[in-house]
Structure 1
Amino acid sequence: MRDGILIGEGVVLDARPASFLSRALGAAIDVATVVACLVALLVVTSQSLSFVDPDLAPAIVVAVLVLVTVVVPTTVETLSRGRSLGKLALGIRVVRDDGGPVRFRHAFLRALVGVGELWLTLGSVALIASLTNDRGKRLGDMAAGTYAIRVRGGRPTFAPLAMPPHLAGWAAHADMRRLPDGLALAARQLLARVDRLNPASRARLGRELAAQVERYVAPGPPPGTHPEAFLMAVLTERRDRDRVTAQRARALADEQAALLHRLPYSVPDPSR
């Protein structure tokens, strides 16, 4: 996740709320999609009503409206974990207030409240609520405990890694296995954003990531080592070791390529 730190069960920390413009454009795309589906279903329904009891016509129309305005949005947001067509196009996602992925309950409340604030009031209530909330929440978000965040943005720039001097000796002799890509990225993002995290979240996340990284390191860091210093040391040492390994592999490949230009058994080619 480019604009936040992804940990645990899809939990996002330090995520930026989506801008009002991106939310509005995403909502416009979703509304246009829903209206198109609604018109198509009503056309099909109107043609089918001639084959059913006329007394059932109002119930069928209501069922179609509920299907398009509540059931479909709830299903889409639940299965996609907060990414409808409009949100996908604009690079935003709906998450819980704690950063976790939305579930059926959250998606259902958002869709149910949306019937009133989006459809019955032509979006005016949602617009006013979104403009007056610091996270851009509409009433459905307030009821469900959710908000929209950015999940796509410019390429992040990370501060360079540097080995903590007091851990250089330990890191040089420690056995460090390759870290899983997701874990390494989460640790790298934490170190790049420590100044912008809430102190409590920073400390908790640092401890959690250090505990996970320590499973791939033996022996562990010296007693009393700060989690962030430990993560910095591991990432820096792994980077340096990977660089040395890559250089050796490149040198070996160059040597083997040079041998391809010689005769078998390394006999010099007399034509050269």
Structure 2
Amino acid sequence: MSASIDASDEVLSGEAVAIDVQPVGFLLRAVGAIIDMLLGFLLFILWIFVRIWLFDIGILDEATDRIAMVVALVVSFVVVPIAMEVALKGRSLGKLAVGGRIVRVDGGAAGFRHAFIRALLGALEIYMTLGGIAVLAGAFNARSQRLGDMVAGTYSQRVRTPKLVPHAPVLPPSLAGWAQVADVARLPDRLARRISQFLQTAPRLAPGARVRVAQELLSEAAPFVSPMPPVSAEEVLVGITVLRRERERRALQNADRRAEKLTGRRIGV
């Protein structure tokens, strides 16, 4: 089943599971890159003022000035970006501003090697071409990866996505009588998780997809439910979830009481 995208731009899988690993869009990446570029240029300009002062007090001469200039360029545009990305675990000033984080293409955390490759190529595609190569590369791939990302195997992941608010389902009034006689067996763990995830994300689904996914989940859960009430598939899923939750809660309470009695007997002995 194909994925659906709702109004809040969250990607939902065919099992109605929210995928919270969206890449940062091209425009936001550009804004973040501009912020990081400005930081690098500000550091280099700061060095220019320091250089003038060092000339005035006689510490720098023509020979050492050339070496210091190269060192300042490397520090401002390579070392500082690497240090920030490693220290902030894939973040930088620009990425903090736009809500992004550099991760591996498999979703794992990026490390020093990734930051080193990105910074080296960033000096070429961002600073030496004023972002020209990065713009061309990022505009033509789905994850807005620049050249450094493609070589390092990384991309910028959104970390400011709306979080799903978990809620406890309530038994519909139409199922009050059914709940007194219903026999709901233990569901397979994977099916129970899918039903729970669907109920949390159902309000975000398009009506047609909502009905279709509910019906598919109910068809899988039907062998574990008797009798089947004459209500909508989503209401039945809510009823199943509420009954299983209440029965598991009572089972845990009974287990706690048995443990307390056993402990009390041992103390009495």
> Secondary structure of 1:99's match?
coil
Q: Name the CA shift for 1:47/1:135 in 2 (closer, same or farther; >3 Å).
A: same
> Secondary structure of 2:139's match?
helix
Please identify runs of 4+ aligned residues in structure 1 that moved more than 4 A: 157-164, 238-242
The aligned counterpart of 1:167 is 186
Residues of 2 paired with 1:64 and 1:239: CA distance?
A: 67
Q: Name the CA shift for 1:47/1:145 in 2 (closer, same or farther; >3 Å).
A: same
Residue type of the alignment partner of 2:39: T
Residue type of the alignment partner of 1:165: V
Is 1:67 the counterpart of 2:86? The answer is no
Contact 1:42-1:64 within 8 A present in 2 as well: no
Is 1:151 the counterpart of 2:159? The answer is yes
Residue type of the alignment partner of 1:128: L
> Secondary structure of 1:149's match?
strand
Once the two structures are superposed, the pairs formed by residues 50-199 of structure 1 within 5 Å of their partners are 50-156=58-164, 165-167=184-186, 191=197
**1:22: Cα distance to partner?**
1.1
Contact 1:109-1:140 within 8 A present in 2 as well: yes
TM-score by length of 2: 0.57
Q: Name the CA shift for 1:239/1:161 in 2 (closer, same or farther; >3 Å).
A: farther
Q: Name the CA shift for 1:140/1:161 in 2 (closer, same or farther; >3 Å).
A: farther
Q: Name the CA shift for 1:239/1:115 in 2 (closer, same or farther; >3 Å).
A: farther
| Stretches of structure 1 lacking an aligned partner (at least 5 in a row) | 5-12, 172-186, 195-231, 246-272
The aligned counterpart of 2:46 is 40
**1:97: Cα distance to partner?**
0.8
Contact 1:17-1:147 within 8 A present in 2 as well: yes
Residues of 1 paired with 2:23 and 2:246: CA distance?
A: 34
The aligned counterpart of 2:34 is 28
Residues of 2 paired with 1:21 and 1:166: CA distance?
A: 51
Residues of 2 paired with 1:66 and 1:161: CA distance?
A: 57
Give the alignment partner of residue 21 of structure 2, picking from 15, 23, 29: 15
The aligned counterpart of 1:209 is none
Residue type of the alignment partner of 1:46: I
**1:78: Cα distance to partner?**
0.6
Per-residue deviation, residues 88-143 of structure 1 (Å, max 9, x unmatched):
11111110111111100000100000010001111000000000111110000011
RMSD, matched Cα: 3.9
TM-score by length of 1: 0.56
| Stretches of structure 2 lacking an aligned partner (at least 5 in a row) | 1-9, 12-18, 172-182, 202-239, 254-269
Q: Name the CA shift for 1:27/1:159 in 2 (closer, same or farther; >3 Å).
A: same
Residues of 2 paired with 1:240 and 1:102: CA distance?
A: 41
Contact 2:103-2:154 within 8 A present in 1 as well: yes
Q: Name the CA shift for 1:71/1:160 in 2 (closer, same or farther; >3 Å).
A: same
How many residue pairs were aligned?
180
> Secondary structure of 1:51's match?
coil
Q: Name the CA shift for 1:22/1:160 in 2 (closer, same or farther; >3 Å).
A: farther
* Percentage of matched positions with identical amino acids: 38
Residues of 2 paired with 1:43 and 1:238: CA distance?
A: 70
